[in-house]
Amino acid sequence: MHLSALLLCLSLGALVKCATGSDWCYTDCDDTPSTWENLHGASCGGKRQSPIDIDTNNVHADLHLLNFNFVNFSSKHVIKSIINNGHTVKLKLHDGEVEVSGGGLNDAYSTIQLHFHWGDTEHHPGSEHKIDGQRYLMEMHIVSMMKGLTMQQATEKSEGIAAMAFFIKATEDGDVSPTWSNLTSYLTNVMDTEIDMEHDISIDDLIKDVDLTKFYRYMGSLTTPNCNEAVVWTVFHEPIIIHKTLIQKFPEKAGFRNVYRPTQALNGRQVLASPATPLPSHPWCYHDHCEYTQSEWSRLPNAYCAGESQSPINIAKSSAVKEEKLGAFHFEKFDDKHVIEKIINTGHTVKCVLKEGVEVSGGGLGHVFSTLQLHFHWGAHDSEGSEHTVDSKRYPMEMHIVNKRKDLTLEKALQTTDGLAVLGFFIEATSAKEKSRSSSEQGASSSDMDALKKLTSYLSAIKNIISEVNVTEEISIDDLLGSVNRESYYRYNGSLTTPSCNQAVVWTVFKESIKVDETLMMMFPKETGYHNVFRSAQGLHGRTVYTTAAAARAPVSISLLLACLCAFHFRLHF
């Protein structure tokens, strides 16, 4: 086929005559969608056809699908004309003024036209793509061609064309959108006649407030003959919402209806989603009988557990790099004795939800963080259960204080490398020596114990999974932390240690452990009925673990002396 003929087909939508010599249509002709595959020279029977039904349970989140760059989407001067070509209504753009890149696309694309797919009435929706089997009322397509290619070249290249799909949903509330109202005023049943558009509408006006960071991505085809398998598809998660009366104008004024192709087989293709797209969560567990036990987390759809910045890790003391910037933290309301709102048995952990206003800053974090909750990881009566290990030593328990950057929503924080800051504290049993010393001196370690004693007294009230109880006892976070030196810690970039394992966490793991009575630790597995709720160590993949430069509040000489004495002691006895 000649290039000029093809250009005519694609730009005027008269594809039909030139492509195959026979007419195609959606209904009421010889070549309806079910027979398009027989059209001469067309790819409609291929293996990567569009549209598809997007099954959100089988979509995988992809960290590379970051934000788009749109050029001139906000310009009111780029839409040139509107034309009814008998299959759709198309808005043609001025050449070379509108561009799309980013969004995980490998190239920059030149946007050439927009068009629509619709059904009949509200009882017969007409979007092309479906989400979990559901069709929306309408769909808008924005079609762009790889920059520098002719249309012929673009249709022959696997990613030659970038199509963006927006679902359109009806509302009966509120005012009729002026933009869409304006657009529908141009609709006509006069075919193949280009009508100039006044310079009133931008593409952004049509997209309205759809969140452009939430989208699905897959490799597909044009949805009309010749169905060229040359399209990288972006299907936005949020629909454009317009008034019901405007949606009805498309079939009414254009003179035809149900202009959409049925969904096509996936044939093993993977649909991806941008990190911001909300996807259904799946049941997971550590090691019991569930679909996704720990070793299977990496297969969880919509999760990042197979990433290269996962937590927890084993911290090798000798490889930790000293960093002077890791200074003291500032804690807001850690001394508030009414800070714990309630305690919850989530089925994976015991979690204390904190009230608002608790904050962490300093400590080389670079941002102010709001403290959301704290929770625990534990082992069994005869085994340790901390998540992090130090020189392969696992501690009996670990407490995590979870903080979110104050300037971000939780949703945004989960997608940002330093969106969350988790403070990890090891918990271990008070030795007999420390016990006797603290009872005689009334030292700090006895107050560590009081706080945890109060907290564990609630465990019997939340034996059932998903049960919760209000905390009325006076317990501050400072009480729980006791005398632990908070200026001596390790720092690395990692992830949540439970699905979806978002790689959004700046980790602080404190070197000193909280000392509590062993019987209190035993209450966690005993009262909840589950044990070994910790994730195993993840690969470092080249990450650096940093450490605070100097530690100890005690003068260096004394701590050194202590260390020597201990080592000496150690050697004598073993």
Catalytic residues, by residue number, are 87
- Paired with 422 in beta bridges are 402, 507
Q: Verify binding: residue 97, ligand NAG, rule CB under 6 A.
A: yes
Q: Which does 71 bind (CB under 5 to 8 A by kind): Zn ion, ligand NAG, none?
A: ligand NAG
Q: How far apart are CA 366 and CA 359, in angstroms?
A: 13
Q: Which does 493 bind (CB under 5 to 8 A by kind): Zn ion, ligand NAG, none?
A: ligand NAG
Q: Which does 81 bind (CB under 5 to 8 A by kind): Zn ion, ligand NAG, none?
A: none
Helix (H, G, I), strand (E, B) or coil at 231: strand
Burial (0-12, 13-18, 19+ Cβ within 10 Å), 226: buried
SS3 readout for 54-82: ECHHHCEECCCCCCEEEECCCCCCCEEEE
In angstroms, what is the minimal distance from the CB of 552 to Zn ion?
Answer: 27
Q: How distant, in Å, are the alpha carbons of 127, 295, 380, 392, 456 from that of 537?
A: 46, 12, 18, 9, 27
Query: Is-contact 30 50, C-beta < 8 A?
Result: no
- Toward Zn ion, which CB reaches closer, 373 or 415? 373
- Toward ligand NAG, which CB reaches closer, 201 or 480? 201
Helix (H, G, I), strand (E, B) or coil at 203: helix
Q: How far apart are CA 223 and CA 368, in angstroms?
A: 49
Q: Verify binding: residue 548, ligand NAG, rule CB under 6 A.
A: no
Give kind and range of the element (H or E) at residue 245: helix 244-254
| Residue 330 neighbours by CB under 8 Å, 6+ apart | 359, 360, 361, 362, 363
Q: Which does 152 bind (CB under 5 to 8 A by kind): Zn ion, ligand NAG, none?
A: none
In angstroms, what is the minimal distance from the CB of 488 to ligand NAG?
Answer: 16
- Toward Zn ion, which CB reaches closer, 105 or 161? 161
Instruction: Identify the residue among 58, 470, 519, 536 touching ligand NAG (CB under 6 A).
Output: 470
Closest Cα to residue 12, out of 167, 224, 229, 158?
224
Q: Two tokens at 60?
A: 């995988």
- Toward ligand NAG, which CB reaches closer, 77 or 393? 77
In angstroms, what is the minimal distance from the CB of 98 to ligand NAG?
Answer: 7
Report the first-to-last Cα separation within the chain, whole angstroms: 88
Look up tokens 């090798």; give the residue.
316
In angstroms, what is the minimal distance from the CB of 309 to ligand NAG?
Answer: 8
Count how many residues are written for the chain. 574
- Toward ligand NAG, which CB reaches closer, 369 or 492? 492
What Rg do the C-alpha atoms of the chain give, in angstroms? 31
In angstroms, what is the minimal distance from the CB of 79 to ligand NAG?
Answer: 10
Q: Which does 245 bind (CB under 5 to 8 A by kind): Zn ion, ligand NAG, none?
A: none
Q: Which does 178 bind (CB under 5 to 8 A by kind): Zn ion, ligand NAG, none?
A: ligand NAG
Look up tokens 């030149």; give the residue.
110
Q: Verify binding: residue 17, ligand NAG, rule CB under 6 A.
A: no
Residues between 45 and 84 with contacts to ligand NAG, criterion CB under 6 A: 71-72, 75, 77-78
In angstroms, what is the minimal distance from the CB of 419 to ligand NAG?
Answer: 11
Instruction: Identify the residue among 23, 156, 200, 411 touching ligand NAG (CB under 6 A).
Output: 200
- 284: DSSP letter: B
- Toward ligand NAG, which CB reaches closer, 87 or 486? 486
Q: Which does 141 bind (CB under 5 to 8 A by kind): ligand NAG, Zn ion, none?
A: Zn ion
- Toward ligand NAG, which CB reaches closer, 182 or 361? 182
Q: Kindly list the residues in this chain that would bind Zn ion in the complex (CB under 5 A).
A: 141, 400
Q: What's the one-letter identity of residue 89?
A: V
Instruction: Identify the residue among 518, 544, 566, 567 touching ligand NAG (CB under 6 A).
Output: 544
In angstroms, what is the minimal distance from the CB of 64 to ligand NAG?
Answer: 15
Examine residue 470 and say whether the peptide bond preceding it is cis (omega within 30 degrees of 0).
Answer: no
Number of residues that bind ligand NAG (CB under 6 A): 18
Q: Between β-strands 393-394 and 389-390, what pairing exists: parallel, antiparallel or unpaired?
A: antiparallel
Q: How far apart are CA 557 and CA 148, in angstroms?
A: 70
In angstroms, what is the minimal distance from the CB of 399 to Zn ion?
Answer: 8
- Toward Zn ion, which CB reaches closer, 142 or 279? 142
User: Exposure string (b/e) for 517-550, b if CB count within 10 Å is 16 or more?
Assistant: beebbbbbbebbebbbbbbebbebeeeebbbbee
- Toward Zn ion, which CB reaches closer, 26 or 276? 26
Q: Two tokens at 257?
A: 């209806």
Instruction: Identify the residue among 70, 256, 492, 524 touching ligand NAG (CB under 6 A).
Output: 492
In angstroms, what is the minimal distance from the CB of 322 to Zn ion?
Answer: 26
Q: Verify binding: residue 182, ligand NAG, rule CB under 6 A.
A: yes
Q: Between β-strands 350-354 and 359-362, what pairing exists: parallel, antiparallel or unpaired?
A: unpaired
Instruction: Identify the residue among 57, 69, 185, 436 touching ligand NAG (CB under 6 A).
Output: 185
Q: How far apart are CA 270 and CA 512, in angstroms?
A: 46
Q: Which does 535 bind (CB under 5 to 8 A by kind): ligand NAG, Zn ion, none?
A: none
Residues near ligand NAG (CB under 6 A):
71-72, 75, 77-78, 97, 178, 182, 185, 198, 200, 417, 470, 491-493, 544, 546
